[in-house]
């Protein structure tokens, strides 16, 4: 017979008991499922309330573990589910050339999820070490440990800070304003703390349950209220009052399918389409563009060695302005080298600015441990791209100085602006998300880019081959956008940068370090006080 149910036990306590009394294989499967469901909180679904169920469930499952190995395994299963469901879209890139990479389709995302799951496993182990089973500091301990692992994930092995917890808030302009002070890592820590508090509803002590309920309600309200007040002081994003004087940008979205992009029989037609869209008069008597922006590798020719094509591109440059485009760049002597670059070409054909992508995509633009791994990079061509020297601020005639960011260079919190030289007045992200179709990938990429605008207090201009192209103000609000799969142009003014540095722009990820240290100290104090109370 099953044990008699304790009617005095709180409902959440009964749920916790049912979860933790399961055989260990079922608990691991439940952790995996909780992680997979948690991915629904990310863009484009933004089902944020699921975290109020899945994060407490993870904490309860960790409470059933004894020792660091079981805790690590539980966290790893949660992480594998989270990354498997959140990064499924990477498989789309392998299907562009399925005849070459078909064998990787069933392997790539599961192996990546298994590797990234190690960070979640380490976070679970850290949480248990900080706050043993039953500790009131459990939610804060998990928030601290998970955030520390997000930070580590942002730089180890060149870094992959994708789907940070903070991105769940990008569905709303107000709560993501906290990133101006805390950065994405800090906002993610607050998010995990909030999501984990319902775990304390299972406590038998009524004051603990009421305190957890207050925290679960007040924390998001504080984020919303603080962000709303900041936006109210900023004014309407689309009013166009705070813009760079004399600048009118045309962002061209060519919508070229990745399978057709490098087709020799179509390359010239693609270039002509970009040229034609660049010179069409703006509708409704709007001012003509002063500068034209094309996406990553929009020009499928080597402009540095092809003066004819360079002259064609220059013909699309407005008088006194330039065409800014992504383009492959090569040097054949001595030895062949290639760069994924951004160049600005004036109307006379001069290249007035060059930036070479510094943060290359593993397996996309280069193969780690080449010679040992039996694969070629996924992007077009053979051999590896060469990494550029690093971030820099570019100056183009007629434009405020800007920080160029190619593709996923925009996803790194605190690493989108050069530390030396003049501070840019805006961020320019050129990208090609055609690899991933109309999947979650492009939406997640755009959400991450918007967070960089909030953190730095700088407007963001984004030119994407198949979308999402957009103009975003210094508060992360979308002024204008072209959706996925659309062909067209955006004619917009350049929003102004904030005159004062945001706290994050001033101190960077040092803010996160302070939050982690403070969270650790509070967790240890709570653990100590709880131990003293238990002894008493």
Q: Is residue 492 annotated as a catalytic residue, yes or no?
A: no
Q: CA separation (Å) from 420 to 81, 175, 415, 417?
A: 40, 31, 12, 9
Element (H or E) spanning 35, and its range? helix 24-38
Q: Is residue 407 annotated as a catalytic residue, yes or no?
A: yes
Residues whose CB is less than 8 angstroms from the CB of residue 161 and which lie 6 or more positions away in sequence, other chains included: 150, 153, 154, 184, 411, 412, 413
Contact yes or no for 341/389 (Cβ under 8 A): no
Other CB atoms within 10 Å distance of the CB of residue 103: 11
Torsion on CA atoms 18, 21, 25, 28, rounded to nearest 10: 60
Q: What angle do CA 491, 492, 496 make, to 5 degrees?
A: 160
Instruction: Give me the catalytic one of 77, 150, 296, 365.
Output: 296
Instruction: Give me the catalytic one of 77, 150, 261, 357.
Output: 357
Full 3-state SS string of 146-187: HHHHHHHHCCHHHCCCCCCHHHHHHHCCCHHHHHHHHHHHHH
Contact yes or no for 503/516 (Cβ under 8 A): no
Element (H or E) spanning 463, and its range? strand 460-464
Q: CA-CA distance, 295 to 297, in Å (whole number)? A: 6
Nearest to 247, CA basis, from 494, 498, 499, 495:
494
Other CB atoms within 10 Å distance of the CB of residue 334: 6
| Backbone φ and ψ of 245, nearest 5° | -70, 135
Contact yes or no for 384/355 (Cβ under 8 A): no
Residue-wise DSSP of 307-373:
HHHHHHHHTTSPTT-EEEEEEEEEE-TTS-EEEEEEEEEETTS-EEEEEE--SPPBTTTB-TTBTTB
Tokens of 138: 């459990």
| Backbone φ and ψ of 198, nearest 5° | -60, -15
Q: Is residue 296 annotated as a catalytic residue, yes or no?
A: yes
Q: CA-CA distance, 126 to 132, in Å (whole number)? A: 10
Other CB atoms within 10 Å distance of the CB of residue 211: 15
Q: What angle do CA 280, 472, 148 make, to 5 degrees?
A: 140
Instruction: Give me the catalytic one of 407, 455, 456, 492.
Output: 407
Which residues are annotated as catalytic? 296, 357, 407
């Amino acid at each position: 017979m099953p044990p008699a149910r304790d009617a005095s036990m709180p409902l959440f306590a009964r749920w916790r008991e049912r979860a933790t009394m399961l055989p260990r294989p079922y608990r691991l499967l439940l952790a995996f499922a909780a992680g997979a469901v948690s991915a629904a909180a990310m863009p484009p679904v933004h089902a944020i309330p699921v975290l109020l169920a899945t994060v407490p469930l993870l904490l309860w499952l960790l409470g059933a573990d004894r020792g660091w190995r079981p805790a690590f395994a539980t966290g790893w299963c949660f992480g594998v589910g989270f990354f498997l469901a959140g990064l499924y879209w990477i498989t789309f890139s392998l299907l562009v050339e399925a005849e070459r990479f078909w064998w990787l389709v069933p392997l790539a995302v599961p192996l990546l999820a298994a590797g990234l799951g190690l960070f979640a496993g380490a976070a679970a182990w850290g949480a248990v070490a900080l706050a043993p089973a039953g500790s009131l500091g459990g939610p804060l301990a998990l928030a601290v440990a998970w955030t520390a692992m997000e930070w580590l994930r942002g730089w180890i092995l060149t870094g992959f800070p994708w789907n940070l917890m903070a991105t769940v808030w990008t569905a709303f302009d107000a709560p993501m304003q906290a990133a101006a002070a805390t950065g994405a890592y800090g906002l993610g820590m607050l998010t995990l703390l909030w999501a984990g508090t319902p775990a304390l509803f299972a406590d038998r002590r009524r004051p603990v349950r009421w305190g957890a309920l207050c925290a679960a309600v007040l924390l998001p309200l504080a984020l919303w209220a603080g962000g709303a007040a900041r936006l109210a002081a900023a004014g309407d994003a689309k009013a166009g009052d705070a813009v760079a004087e004399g600048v009118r940008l045309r962002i061209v979205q060519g919508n070229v399918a990745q399978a057709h992009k490098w087709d020799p029989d179509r390359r010239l037609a693609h270039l002509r389409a970009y040229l034609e869209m660049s010179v069409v008069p703006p509708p409704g008597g709007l001012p003509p563009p002063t500068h034209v922006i094309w996406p990553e590798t929009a020009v499928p020719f080597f402009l540095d060695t092809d003066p004819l094509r360079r002259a064609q591109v220059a013909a699309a440059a407005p008088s006194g302005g330039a065409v800014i485009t992504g383009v492959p760049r090569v040097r054949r002597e001595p030895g062949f080298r290639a760069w994924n670059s951004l160049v600005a070409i004036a109307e006379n054909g001069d290249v007035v600015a060059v930036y070479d992508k510094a943060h290359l995509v593993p397996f996309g633009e280069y193969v780690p441990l080449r010679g040992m791994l039996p694969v070629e990079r996924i992007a077009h061509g053979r051999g590896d791209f060469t990494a550029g020297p690093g971030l820099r601020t570019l100056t183009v005639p007629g434009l405020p100085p800007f920080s160029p960011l190619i593709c996923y260079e925009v996803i790194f919190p605190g690493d989108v602006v050069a530390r030396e030289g003049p501070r840019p007045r805006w961020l320019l992200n050129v990208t090609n998300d055609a690899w991933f179709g109309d999947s979650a990938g492009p939406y997640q990429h755009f959400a991450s880019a918007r967070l960089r605008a909030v953190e730095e207090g700088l407007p963001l201009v984004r030119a994407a081959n198949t979308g999402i192209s957009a103009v975003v103000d210094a508060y992360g609000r979308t002024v204008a956008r072209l959706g996925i799969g659309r062909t067209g142009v955006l004619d917009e003014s350049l929003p102004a940068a904030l005159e004062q540095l945001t706290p994050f722009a001033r101190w960077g990820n040092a803010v996160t370090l302070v939050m982690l240290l403070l969270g650790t100290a509070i967790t240890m104090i709570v653990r100590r006080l709880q131990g003293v109370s238990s002894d008493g």
